Chain A
Amino acid sequence: QSVLTQPPSVSAAPGQKVTISCSGSSSNIGNNYVSWYQQLPGTAPKLLIYDNNKRPSGIPDRFSGSKSGTSATLGITGLQTGDEADYYCGTWDSSLSASVVFGGGTKLTVL
């Protein structure tokens, strides 16, 4: 059972927009930066969003992130078939046992 909660799957048509939610608590999302990762089939995860809403160099602005309270959201606009992947949110958990925590992952299907 993952510390952060994500929907198992989302889907949308090419060109459309999709959002993926990530829910946590005050010990993790509520007081720490959220990051998002894209994992294409058979590959390692790749950093997509850091510091809640910043994109590393090379990540298109079709990808966006936001955070409110103890939840975060990844948005993808102008969906492409190449966006089909698993998406994970992650953050630091500042509870007694400090750790990195991830969501359970969301499978994006571009119909």
Chain B
Amino acid sequence: QVTLRESGPALVKPTQTLTLTCTFSGFSLSTSGMCVSWIRQPPGKALEWLALIDWDDDKYYSTSLKTRLTISKDTSKNQVVLTMTNMDPVDTATYYCARIPLDSSGYFHGVDYWGQGTLVTVSS
């Protein structure tokens, strides 16, 4: 079965760089059409999409956060890593990694599997 699990620090200080790792199983990121995405949710607020990496190593970023984000993958380890620089208290949120399978025409059908999320608090 498909599972995804986020790992990383629960607490980071302002201006620090956050590094989160998504370890997944049940699928391969080398399969055509397969993508992994990061999505976050501040406490009591809505979902916010952050970044996506696809099977071909193409990367897409949120326009508002593009300068601070880097997404990468290690297919052999079934991992996707997200780094976010210059963390601020407003970045306090639960960070989810999720699977997004695209069809052969590249169409998005939905986020079909989500990790449990990891809460990251930004505070000095």
A residues sitting closer than 8 Å to B (CB atoms) are 2, 32-33, 35, 37, 43-47, 49-51, 56, 88, 90-92, 97-105
Of residues 93 to 124 in B, which have CB atoms within 8 Å of A's CB atoms? 96, 100, 107-117
State the 10 A-B residue pairs at the shortest beta-carbon distance, nearest first. Answer: A35-B110, A50-B110, A92-B108, A100-B49, A44-B114, A102-B47, A97-B63, A105-B46, A104-B46, A50-B109
Interface of A is mostly: strand
Q: List 21 A-B contacts (CB under 8 A).
A: A2-B46, A32-B108, A33-B110, A35-B111, A44-B114, A44-B117, A45-B96, A45-B114, A47-B111, A49-B110, A97-B63, A99-B52, A99-B60, A99-B61, A100-B52, A100-B108, A102-B46, A102-B47, A103-B46, A104-B46, A105-B46
Count of B residues near A, CB < 8 Å? 25
B47 touches A88 (CB 8 A): yes
B49 touches A101 (CB 8 A): yes
Q: Which residues of chain B come closer than 8 Å to A44, judged between CB atoms?
A: 96, 114-117
Q: Which residue of B lies closest to A97 (CB)?
A: B63
Tell which of A32, A43, A44, A88 has the most Cβ of chain B within 10 Å.
A44
Of residues 59 to 82 in B, which have CB atoms within 8 Å of A's CB atoms? 60-63, 66
Tell which of A2, A43, A100, A105 has the most Cβ of chain B within 10 Å.
A100
User: How near does chain B come to A53, taking the closest CB pair, in angstroms?
Assistant: 12
User: How near does chain B come to A67, taking the closest CB pair, in angstroms?
Assistant: 13
B57 contacts A by Cβ under 8 Å: no
Q: Which residues of chain A come closer than 8 Å to B63, judged between CB atoms?
A: 97, 99
B48 contacts A by Cβ under 8 Å: yes
Q: Which residue of A lies closest to B60 (CB)?
A: A98
Q: Which residues of chain B come closer than 8 Å to A51, judged between CB atoms?
A: 109-110
Q: Which residues of chain B come closer than 8 Å to A101, judged between CB atoms?
A: 49
Q: Which residue of B lies closest to A94 (CB)?
A: B108
B37 contacts A by Cβ under 8 Å: yes
CA–CA, A97 and B69, complex, Å: 15
B109 touches A35 (CB 8 A): yes
CA–CA, A56 and B111, complex, Å: 11
Q: Which residues of chain B come closer than 8 Å to A91, judged between CB atoms?
A: 108
